[in-house]
Amino acid sequence: MTNYARSERELLADLLLSEGPDAPTLCTGWTTRDLAAHIVVRERRPDSAAGILIKPLAGYGEKVRLARAALPYEELIAQLRNPPVWSPVSNPVVDPLANTMEMFIHHEDVRRGGGTWEPRRLDPEFETTLWRNLKLLVRASLSRLRITASIEPTGRPAIRNGERPQIRVIGDVGEIAVFFFGRQRAAQVTLEGPPELAERLRTARLGV
């Protein structure tokens, strides 16, 4: 079975090198260097996440990320490409669970950051993996927004979070993933329903 987390990591690392350190991404305010540093710190410095739970440490994680971003760019990408052996993401069981969606979304952050891009044609098995990881997030996001919807991925059964959907979200699995991870404006999905509800969904803070 293909480890799509690994293959997306390799594609992302290659793209980061080809784009260079100063290219735009879909992550507001972040260049490719910033995004690479974020991924590396997430995997090598778990202490940097302390600010999520302890408010006085809120700025600590950003300091750690900025310090990592100051490394030579090629060294930074090498660290992204090769997580340390002690990291849980180096485990062949943990990696697909923890990183398939993470690497796919950040790969798209770089691919689409410059404004000129085409949707990728994804392997059906990869789409199945993404969809399996995406279902819970979709339902949770819609529940939080109190919107009932029919989510209709191309070639797959629709899922609903209510008996009477207020809106339909239609598109390929990869595009629905980009949409529900908070990159709505860069996702090629169709929203069918009341315009005000569609705009609310397009501008909502989605993702994790």
Q: What phi and psi, each to the nearest 5 degrees, are found at residue 142? A: -65, -40
Q: CA triplet 42, 43, 46: central angle to 5 degrees?
A: 65
Residues of the chain with confidence (pLDDT) below 50:
none
Q: Is 171:188 a contact under the CB 8 Å cutoff?
A: yes
Claim: this prediction has a pTM higher than 0.75? yes
**Residue 189: its pLDDT value, please?**
96
What is the rounded distance in angstroms from the CA atom of residue 128 to the CA atom of residue 180?
Answer: 16
DSSP percent split of the chain into helix, strand, coil, nearest 5: 60, 10, 35
What is the rounded distance in angstroms from the CA atom of residue 14 to the CA atom of residue 180?
Answer: 25
Q: Mind listing the pLDDT tens digit for each residue in 155-180?
A: 999 999 888 899 999 999 999 999 99
**Residue 97: its pLDDT value, please?**
84
What is the rounded distance in angstroms from the CA atom of residue 41 to the CA atom of residue 89?
Answer: 13
**Residue 199: its pLDDT value, please?**
95
Of 83, 114, 89, which is closest to residue 13 (Cα–Cα)?
83
CA distances 172 to 112, 113, 158, 184, 186, Å, are: 16, 20, 12, 14, 13
